[in-house]
Structures are given as structure tokens and as C-alpha cells.
């Protein structure tokens, strides 16, 4: 029994060393590929063509956009035409040019290009804008407009009755009568 255990342990160690060296020599392609394969088609393998070297990352295709994280751990969002997704090694692939922030087609033509960081900022700003479709906001706006209208009416009344104070005394008397009916003395 001891021989079987040592055989399994040495075989496991050799398999781990082989997997680690293969992953090292392929710049992390093996683990990325296995994670894409395990997602069962939900994720896309993004081949990013950099200035110095190419590298692979995990991306998602949502609503015509490709969302992935680059080496600097920034989330990038690029418009993605359906013609640029292809299948290789039984997973979906997309080629991206890192310098131009654009998707590269099968014949190496750039399909779309724009500033992905600025687009991502605009997208986050649009998603986090405050909701103005609330009944309370409409009520507040109506009350503010009514208050401004009341202030304007009082200002017009004061300017019209500058020389005649009898109207102001009548208003004060009617207010005291209304207040006395409620139980408040003015």
C-alpha cells in the first residue's frame, strides 16, 4: 500500500511541475484557456496584440460590447461586431489591438476604434446618474414654483399698496379673524 501512495504522490508532483512549466512557457495561456473552457461558452478568449508581445485575457460579450481587463487591471469596453468573433480550439476568440483600442477582424483590418477609457467613464457616468422619475421630485418642483408665485404676488401687492396702508390693515385684520377662529391670536 505504501508503494501505491508514493507512486501517486510522485506522479502528482510531476504532473504539477509539468503543468506549471507549460503555463509558464505559454505566458498563462493554459489557465486562461481552461477557465474559458469551463465557462461553457459564456466567456470569450481575448487575444490582445500588444506592442511588444501578445497575451490572452478573459472577456465577455454583452449587448454588442466586449468587456475585458488588461494587464493594468483596468476594465475596458469596446464595441464588438458579431463578424469578429471566431471559434478556435473549441472556444470563442476575439482579437484586440492594444494600441488602437480596437477589435481586429480575421484579415487583420481594424473594425472599431475609440478611446476605451473615456468610453468606459461615460458609460459608468450614465449608469450612475440620479433617477429623476420620482413622484416626490415632481411634488417638490410644484411646491417650489408655488412658493415663488406666492412671493411674486406679495411683492406686487406691496408695490401697489405703498401709499395706501388701509389694504394692509384689512389683510392683517382678516388674518387675525381667521387665526382667532382656529385658536391662534396674531
Give, to the nearest 10 degrees, the angle between helix 29-38 and helix 2-25.
Answer: 100
If we measure between CA atoms, which residue out of 51, 66, 50, 54 comes closest to residue 29? Answer: 54
The pLDDT value recorded for residue 182 is 47
Residues 71 and 120 in one domain: yes
- 38 in a domain, yes or no? yes
- 4 in a domain, yes or no? no
CA distances from 130 to 25, 31, 142 (A): 49, 41, 19
Residues 44 and 110 in one domain: yes
The pLDDT value recorded for residue 123 is 75
Residues 123 and 140 in one domain: no
User: What is the model's pTM?
Assistant: 0.54
Split into its structural domains, the chain has a count of: 2
Residues 66 and 116 in one domain: yes
Residues 40 and 67 in one domain: yes
- 149 in a domain, yes or no? yes
- 16 in a domain, yes or no? no
Of 111, 127, 143, which closes a domain?
A: 127
Residues 70 and 35 in one domain: yes
Residues 96 and 149 in one domain: no
The grid coordinates of residue 166 equal 388701509
Residues 172 and 85 in one domain: no
* pLDDT under 70: residue ranges of the chain: 1, 107-109, 111-119, 130-135, 162-186
The pLDDT value recorded for residue 131 is 65
Residues 160 and 110 in one domain: no
Of 127, 145, 164, which closes a domain?
A: 127
Q: Are 64 and 71 in contact (CB under 8 A)?
A: no
Residues 37 and 99 in one domain: yes
- 141 in a domain, yes or no? yes
- 20 in a domain, yes or no? no
- 6 in a domain, yes or no? no
Q: What are phi and psi of 70, to 5 degrees?
A: -90, -170
- 7 in a domain, yes or no? no
Residues 141 and 91 in one domain: no
The pLDDT value recorded for residue 116 is 59
- Domain of residue 76: give its range: 29-127
Residues 36 and 103 in one domain: yes
Amino acid at each position: 500500500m505504501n508503494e501505491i501512495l508514493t507512486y501517486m504522490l510522485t506522479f502528482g508532483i510531476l504532473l504539477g511541475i509539468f503543468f506549471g512549466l507549460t503555463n509558464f512557457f505559454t505566458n498563462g495561456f493554459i489557465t486562461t484557456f481552461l477557465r474559458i473552457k469551463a465557462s461553457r461558452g459564456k466567456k470569450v478568449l481575448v487575444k490582445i496584440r500588444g506592442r511588444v508581445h501578445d497575451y490572452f485575457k478573459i472577456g465577455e460579450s454583452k449587448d454588442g460590447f466586449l468587456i475585458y481587463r488588461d494587464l493594468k487591471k483596468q476594465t475596458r469596453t469596446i464595441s464588438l461586431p458579431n463578424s469578429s468573433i471566431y471559434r478556435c480550439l473549441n472556444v470563442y476568440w476575439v482579437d484586440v489591438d492594444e494600441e488602437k483600442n480596437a477589435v481586429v477582424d480575421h484579415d487583420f483590418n481594424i473594425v472599431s476604434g475609440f478611446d476605451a477609457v473615456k468610453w468606459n467613464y461615460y458609460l459608468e457616468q450614465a449608469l450612475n446618474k440620479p433617477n429623476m422619475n420620482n413622484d416626490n421630485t415632481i411634488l417638490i418642483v410644484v411646491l417650489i414654483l408655488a412658493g415663488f408665485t406666492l412671493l411674486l404676488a406679495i411683492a406686487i401687492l406691496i408695490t401697489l399698496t405703498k401709499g395706501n396702508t388701509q389694504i394692509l390693515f384689512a389683510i392683517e385684520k382678516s388674518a387675525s379673524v381667521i387665526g382667532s377662529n382656529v385658536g391662534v391670536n396674531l
